[in-house]
Amino acid sequence: MKFLLPILAILTLMPSTALLASPATSPECPLPRPVAFKKGSLTIAQGSRITRLQVEVAETPEARGQGLMCRTRLAENAGMLFIFENTSQVGFWMKNTLLPLSIAFIDDAWKIVDMKDMDVEQDPTAPVKTYPSAKPYRYALEVNQGFFARHGITAGARVTYRPQP
């Protein structure tokens, strides 16, 4: 009990943002230089169905290179939005990615044009499989594998992104 009071005092003095857990990562996984991601929210409209999620935003080469590497969990309504300068059809890979993911490729008009499930590699440090989009994309959204299926989201769904201030 005598140790509990000092701990409570420290916790009360900490800023509330410090109490929010940073993303769970594996200590065995090599992250050269962790990136601080911007935050935002996404709304995905599929017909009359609306799905909302919170995203971390990877919009720089360093942030896109790190992506969801070394994460050991991802909240159900969370994901990572990759923003590119130009459209592309370059494939994604699962280097040092420890979670099975689903990816939606999104065009310039914020419409989902392709989706794939991406499995954890047998050796995540040396991935062999890539996941290219069937159509050009400008944005990509990674979420827990099966998220799109669970929410009835398919190609053609409309995406709205709002950055956090």
Token reading at 10: 């420290």
Please determine, for residue 93, whether its predicted confidence score (pLDDT) is greater than 90: yes
What value does the mean pLDDT take over residues 1-24?
A: 40
Please determine, for residue 6, whether its predicted confidence score (pLDDT) is greater than 70: no
pLDDT in the model for residue 19 = 29
DSSP string over the chain: -TTHHHHHHHHHHS-HHHHSPPPPB-TTS--SSPPPPEEEEEEEEETTEEEEEEEEEE-SHHHHHHTTTTBS---TTEEEEEEEEEEE-PPEE-TT--S-EEEEEE-TTSBEEEEEEEPPPSSTTS---EE--SS-EEEEEEEETTHHHHTT--TT-EEEEEE--
Please determine, for residue 18, whether its predicted confidence score (pLDDT) is greater than 50: no
Half-sphere exposure of 113 (CA within 13 A, CB side): 18
In a domain, 4, yes or no: no
What value does the mean pLDDT take over residues 151-156?
A: 98
DSSP 3: T
> Strand, coil or helix: what is 6?
helix
Please determine, for residue 90, whether its predicted confidence score (pLDDT) is greater than 50: yes
Please determine, for residue 23, whether its predicted confidence score (pLDDT) is greater than 80: no
pTM for this model (two decimals): 0.84
Query: At 87, which CATH number?
Result: 2.60.120.1140
pLDDT in tens, 121-147: 999 999 999 999 999 999 999 999 999
In a domain, 57, yes or no: yes
The fraction of the chain above a pLDDT of 70, given in percent, is 84
In a domain, 18, yes or no: no
pLDDT in the model for residue 165 = 86
Instruction: List, in sequence order, every residue forming a beta bridge with 75; answer none if it has no partner.
Output: none
Please determine, for residue 71, whether its predicted confidence score (pLDDT) is greater than 90: yes
Structural domain count, the chain: 1
In a domain, 23, yes or no: no
In a domain, 58, yes or no: yes
In a domain, 7, yes or no: no
> Strand, coil or helix: what is 159?
strand
Domain housing 106: 34-163
Question: Mean of the per-residue pLDDT values for the chain?
Answer: 87
In a domain, 80, yes or no: yes
In a domain, 29, yes or no: no
Please determine, for residue 64, whether its predicted confidence score (pLDDT) is greater than 70: yes
pLDDT in tens, 28-61: 776 767 889 999 999 999 999 999 999 999 999 9
